[in-house]
Amino acid sequence: MLSEYNSRGSADSSTQESEIFDIDDRAAAALYRPLFLSPRRSRWKRYICRRVRRVVCVVLLLLVALIAVTFLFFPSYTHYPLHYRSLEHAIKRSQEAGRGNPRHEKVFIANNLYDASGELVRGKWGSSLLELIDLLGEKNTFLSIYENDAGDEAWRALTELDAQVKCNKSIVFEPHYDFSLAENVTLPDGSVRLRRVPYLADLRNRALRPLEEQNRKGIEYDKVLFLNDVYYNPVDIMHLLFSTNADQNGVSSYRAACAVDFGNLIKFYDSFAVRDAQGYPIGVPFYPWFVSTGAAISRKDVLAQKDAVRVRSCWGGIVAFDAKYFQANTTTQEVSTSGPQETLADRREEKETPAVATSTPARFRSIPDVFWEASESCLIHADLQDPYTDIDQVIDTGIYINPYIRVSYEYQAFTRLGFVRRFERLFTWPNWIANVFSHHPAHNSRRTDIAGETVEQRVWQLDASYDEGGYWKDETRVASRGGFCARRSLFVLNNKRQEDGSGWEPIRVPPDPDSLDWTL
């Protein structure tokens, strides 16, 4: 009986434990059921993942197709105009000196060089220069090179180049520039430094001194070509000189025509000197370079693939000028009427009394204001233009950028610029978006100043009693030419030229809470 009872009790206990376990198990399942996907939800998740992957694949395929179609059929600035091709064919058909200069125009080449190692002169740059002179014709060319403070190796390299140049020339190496003549500036901390832009302006003017000597001898030139230490195709420079903005007879017409220079494969380099047709700085420095602000004339010209993109100023590593602006024998009447100067109000009606553009000869300069800078390479263009009463109305100053002509400060980048052209049209919308989000163009309160008129300008007043070493104030003054070139900056020379080649440094601009001007 006892054993039977124990057996029955054991069975009842086992059954009870089983029932408890089943109850707990069902409760747990019910509790966590929302965390587990039903077969239907699992199928739905897999469906969504497949759809997302499919959409991503389609987008990627469309993007690849867009790049391929653009690359093959819609490259940018790749198919040269007919008159460019005619000149190029003429160059290829002959080996005669001057074959790239169809009208035998006289060209004065000016260069400011700093080549401490001598590698530039002895390398590709030097050989391109010799080819350039051959294409222009030795009898049509004068070469002026000015170099200073670059060391013994630079002097030896220049001496070697001098022996190879066959045209008339002036190759000057100055071991030590007289910095006592340089313009200085007192900084807020009381230190005195040498300003960079006045120094650069003086160097460029020294490269033009032989032109004055040539003029005194009665020799005049048709073009002045300023050449930086950039890599370039000499045939392209023929196009810059003789094909830019050509008329129906193939004769070029401009006050100045600039190449486009690159620091790397896509980055526009010389933004300091460039202003669009209405005087705005460029935006984010990749194609199409210019901003959509105002009439966006320059941006539209680039997108239309024009070889003469209308701008207010430029440099681009290489720039060709109508030489009459730099020669003393040119009359003011000739200066005032050379090159187009259209307005939005009336593009066809010719002015009865042309305004005098500037006194000749034109020379490079700077502005005197502290914590305001304007590139000497921009101001020279301001001095070539006719006076205007509204910067937004003048749409053609006779100053152009030619995007067919591209140069670079890096040789490897230069050899690949043609590849980038083939798909750079795709940068148009990213460039616009980047400009919007970065709030370009930079604000410049002096952009609309009219030369000769009384204006109010923000200027820096040095005063040691202030924490910043001075203060910003409004000052009434007569505006000078080139207000559109200005920006809030200050660059001074340093002693690092021999070490890294830069030779200059920016100085922090004190804040001005009462102005919208950008400090750069």
Can you spell out the DSSP letters for 58-71? Answer: HHHHHHHHHHHHHH
Claim to verify: residue 64 and residue 193 sit in the same structural domain: no
Q: Are strands 168-174 and 275-276 parallel, antiparallel or unpaired?
A: unpaired
Residue 464 within any structural domain of the chain: no
Is residue 467 one of the residues assigned to a domain? no
Token representation of residue 72: 């093959």
Whole-number pLDDT of residue 56: 87
**Which pLDDT value is given to residue 342?**
46
How many Cβ atoms from other residues are within 10 Å of residue 433's Cβ?
11
Contact 105, 219 (CB under 8 A): no
Instruction: Please list the residues that pair with 257 across neighbouring strands.
Output: 320, 400
Same domain for 147 and 174: yes
DSSP label of 281? B
pLDDT of residue 333: 39
Whether residue 143 is found in the same domain as residue 99: yes
DSSP annotation of 425: G
Q: Is residue 2 part of a domain?
A: no
Q: What is the CATH number of the domain that holds 92?
A: 3.90.550.10
**Does residue 141 sit in the same domain as residue 64?**
no
Q: What angle do CA 134, 140, 142 make, to 5 degrees?
A: 85
Domain region containing 309: 82-437
Q: Are residues 138 and 258 in the same domain?
A: yes
pLDDT at 46: 79
The one-character DSSP state at 51 is: H
What per-residue confidence (pLDDT) applies to 432?
98
> Within this chain, do residues 241 and 322 fall inside the same structural domain, yes or no?
yes
* Domain final residue, candidates 410, 437, 464: 437
Judge whether 470 lies within some domain: no
| Separation of CA 330 from chain center | 31
Last residue of a domain, one of 401, 418, 437: 437
Instruction: Please check whether residue 263 lies inside any domain of the structure.
Output: yes
Supply 8's token pair: 């029955």
For 160, half-sphere exposure in the C-beta direction (CA atoms, 13 angstrom radius) is 14
Within a domain: 481:
no
- Phi and psi at 210, nearest 5°, equal -60, -25
Chain-centroid distance of CA 365 in Å reads: 20
DSSP H helices, 260-324, are: 297-303
Domains of the chain: total = 2
Question: Is 341 a member of any domain?
Answer: yes
Q: Are residues 318 and 280 in the same domain?
A: yes
Specify if 463 maps to a domain. Answer: no
Per-residue pLDDT of the chain (520 residues; tens, 9 = 90+): 444 444 444 444 444 444 444 545 555 555 445 555 566 677 777 778 888 888 889 888 888 888 888 888 999 999 999 999 999 999 999 999 999 999 999 999 999 999 999 999 999 999 999 999 999 999 999 999 999 999 999 999 999 999 999 999 999 999 999 999 899 999 999 999 999 999 999 999 999 999 999 999 999 999 999 999 999 999 999 999 999 999 999 999 999 999 999 999 999 999 999 999 999 999 999 999 999 999 999 999 999 999 999 999 999 999 999 999 999 864 433 444 344 454 434 333 333 333 334 457 999 999 999 999 999 999 999 999 999 999 999 889 999 999 999 999 999 999 999 999 999 999 999 999 999 999 999 999 999 999 999 999 999 999 999 999 999 999 999 999 999 999 999 999 997 665 555 789 999 999 999 999 988 7
> How crowded is the C-beta side of 58, counted as CA atoms within 13 Å?
6
Domain boundary among 399, 422, 437: 437
Q: Cis (ω within 30 of 0) for the bond into 441?
A: yes
Q: What is the dihedral of CA 441, 445, 449, 455, to 10 degrees?
A: 180
Decide if 470 contacts 461 (C-beta within 8 A): yes
Contact assessment for residue 211 and residue 224, using Cβ atoms and an 8 Å cutoff = yes
Phi-psi region of 43 (alpha: psi -120 to 50; beta: other; left: phi over 0): alpha
**What span, in angstroms and rounded, lies between the C-alpha atoms of 68 and 70?**
5
